[in-house]
Amino acid sequence: MAARTFSLQTLQRLPYYLDFLRGLETENISATALAAEFGLNEVQVRKDLASVSRQAGRPRKGFGRKALIVDMEDVLGYGRIDKAIIVGLGHLGTALANYRGFENYGLKIVAGFDKKFEGEGRLNDMPVYPAQALVEQVRRLKVKLGIITVDGANAQEVCDRLVEAGIKAIWNFAPLMLQVPEGIIVQNENMACALAVLSHHLRG
Amino acid sequence: MAARTFSLQTLQRLPYYLDFLRGLETENISATALAAEFGLNEVQVRKDLASVSRQAGRPRKGFGRKALIVDMEDVLGYGRIDKAIIVGLGHLGTALANYRGFENYGLKIVAGFDKKFEGEGRLNDMPVYPAQALVEQVRRLKVKLGIITVDGANAQEVCDRLVEAGIKAIWNFAPLMLQVPEGIIVQNENMACALAVLSHHLRG
DNA sequence: GGTATATCGATATTATGTTATCGATATTGG
DNA sequence: CCAATATCGATAACATAATATCGATATACC
């Protein structure tokens, strides 16, 4: 199978489609109906579906629900498990580390790190290491995804060490843009950005 | 002043610029330097700056730091306070309601709602009402921004009632796309979307 | 003062994402 | 079996955002 490629926007719509399809009772669903459900343009939905699934839609019936679900789960990587580590076990970090729901999204946090830890600890099932052990443990665990929940002042340094250790993707909750080399992807989660849009709309 | 308009992307970059400028020590900063700092294209930075600030950059010096900060704070609405209410006081809702940092972003959560509450309660300083009181209280408080932290099954109904009560912007933490009439803005905060991008990159 | 240059603003180009159009066709219902 | 039509896929048009190019100029430095 050729290495398919998906636009950022398409990827971000998939979880919504999938969720809806899972709750659906009928056997078939048309792009038209999906579009109506989400308030999207129906051509856009068709393109999204075409990009994830090889199955052709049938006039007057639409697409097979089950096959769509399988294809989307495959693209989204649910089913397989990506291992992740989390750096920074403050309020947010701890909450994320304790959150069980990630396994439904194919994510398992296999270790946590915090500069305040000495020796080796545990947070529920998850082993916790001091920050110095970061590179060594990430390499040992062969983890490709790092979650950064340290404060802004330390985030870039943590990021650099994750990259050094071979991380390929970073989920960044610190309020700054991390600098990473080519080939590493960063997903920023910054509430100030969301608020910027909302707040401006309230004035606009 | 004409009602200026900003692209979504520009708005989301502003908090990063602002944060950096606040921590900066020099009096002037060039778009070139800002671009280098964030790994952005320098033309893009210049366009962003031009859209928020009327001040012209000076060759070989750049822009005045202080004036940029003022202009960005103005666009982002820091300084003035937007009132918000939050619906759904589970783990996430409670955490957000207790978070003090929002005031730095010009946001104050003035009331909370949960279907499990009877009568009138309090969460720290914030009054808490039962879900039935939603429309009435939102109208009374003249709030324009609603935060939805209920589960997916109830989110659309909550959304409808917020709209009915005159809400203009919604910050949605439930994992579905809300349907809203024209003129209402929804900002979705869905971890599955972020993970979709990261997870796909790990396979790609 | 004169020259070199970093930086600017404007404009053009390219890339990405969304929406509109249209002919083809499988299914439905008479 | 036939006509009506919902839905499809493909292609084209449009919109938005990112990047490249380039001449103008204020400042720095000699």
Chain segment A86-97, per-residue pLDDT in tens: 999 999 999 999
DSSP string spanning A123-187?
ETTEEEEEGGGHHHHHHHHT--EEEE-S-HHHHHHHHHHHHHTT--EEEE-SSSPPP--TT-EEE
List all nucleotides in chain D with at least one atom under 7 A from a protein Cβ.
5-11, 16-21, 24-28
3-state secondary structure of A81: coil
Q: Are strands B121-123 and B126-130 parallel, antiparallel or unpaired?
A: antiparallel
List all nucleotides in chain C with at least one atom under 7 A from a protein Cβ.
5-11, 16-21, 24-28
B51/chain A closest Cα distance in angstroms: 14
Does the nearest atom of strand C lie within 7 Å of B68's Cβ? Answer: no
- pTM score, whole prediction: 0.95
pLDDT tens over chain A, length 204 residues: 445 789 999 999 999 999 999 999 999 999 999 999 999 999 999 999 999 999 999 999 999 999 999 999 999 999 999 999 999 999 999 999 999 999 999 999 999 999 998 888 999 999 999 999 999 999 999 999 999 999 999 999 999 999 999 999 999 999 999 999 999 999 999 999 999 999 999 987
B196 touches chain A (CB under 8 A): yes
A6 contacts B82? CB cut-off 8 A: no
The residue whose two tokens read 């990587």 is A77
Q: Which of B178, B172, B204 is nearest to B191 (CA)?
A: B172
Distance B181 CA to C28 C1' (A): 34
B179 - beta bridge partners?
none
Quick one: pLDDT at residue A3? 56
Window B:119-178, CB contacts with A under 8 Å: 144-145, 152, 168-169, 171, 175-177
Q: Using an 8 Å CB-CB cutoff, list chain A residues near B8.
A: 197
